[in-house]
Amino acid sequence: MARTFFVGGNFKLNGSKQSIKEIVERLNTASIPTNVEVVICPPAPYLDYAASLVSKPQVTVGAQNTYLKASGAYTGENSVEQIKDCGAKWVILGHSERRSYFHEDDKLIAEKTKFALGEGVGVILCIGETLEQKKAGITLKVVETQLDAVLAEVKDWTNIVVAYEPVWAIGSGLAATPEDAQEIHASIRKYLAEKLGKDAAEKIRILYGGSANGKNAVTFKDKPDVDGFLVGGASLKPEFVDIINSRN
């Protein structure tokens, strides 16, 4: 089946009003296909500002993280209602940097995913293995364990986009080959089909999230289970438009 091509831009802890204005204006004036969904995820203080600048219907704004409570004494956290109030339609959860630097485990990520979906935003759910796990040959075991935690909490995956991000490729300049990515994505879809049913699994978009850039994005074009990209550093640069247009 045809799944809408999806490109997420994770700005991480980067940006200013000036740079975000430049990025959004570049998207506003670029030629972007109508059959692509673009989600830019600036740091939380700039969500409202970025959302106010976006003029293309294919482009929406997402947050990089949320908490699993609506409000209360949780200093430093952002609630789903607050990011929605600032114009966010999506949130990235389970990113490898949240898992490693901030010690978020599978259970917490699953609970946050369930809460965010229940509050009405889409979730870009990140999964992936480290270099040590890749060398040990346990990539599929790792990603299946990460998926299992969410499967235990969420039965309806309509508003989840899965981002496979090989941790060893993020920011390293390394990237899985299109063939490797396709093989792993196909295995992920097969696993989801076992758990959710084939029809549901066929509708889930699976993104590649390991150092995608303007040059290598087009090499994934013909891979049937690579439904888009979650882009890091390249989302801050003009080449982000090339990634968005890599299917045309």
| Residue 236 Cα distances to 21, 62, 77, 82, angstroms | 11, 15, 24, 24
Query: Measured between alpha carbons, how far is 122 from 162 in angstroms, rounded to an integer?
Result: 11
- Positions marked active-site: 95, 165
How many C-beta atoms lie closer than 10 Å to residue 151's C-beta?
A: 16
Contact 178, 226 (CB under 8 A): yes
Q: Angle at the Cα of 46 (from 44 to 49), degrees rounded to 5? A: 140
Query: Measured between alpha carbons, how far is 47 from 43 in angstroms, rounded to an integer?
Result: 7
Q: The tokens of 79 are what?
A: 């609630």
Contact 160, 188 (CB under 8 A): no
Query: Measured between alpha carbons, how far is 171 from 232 in angstroms, rounded to an integer?
Result: 8
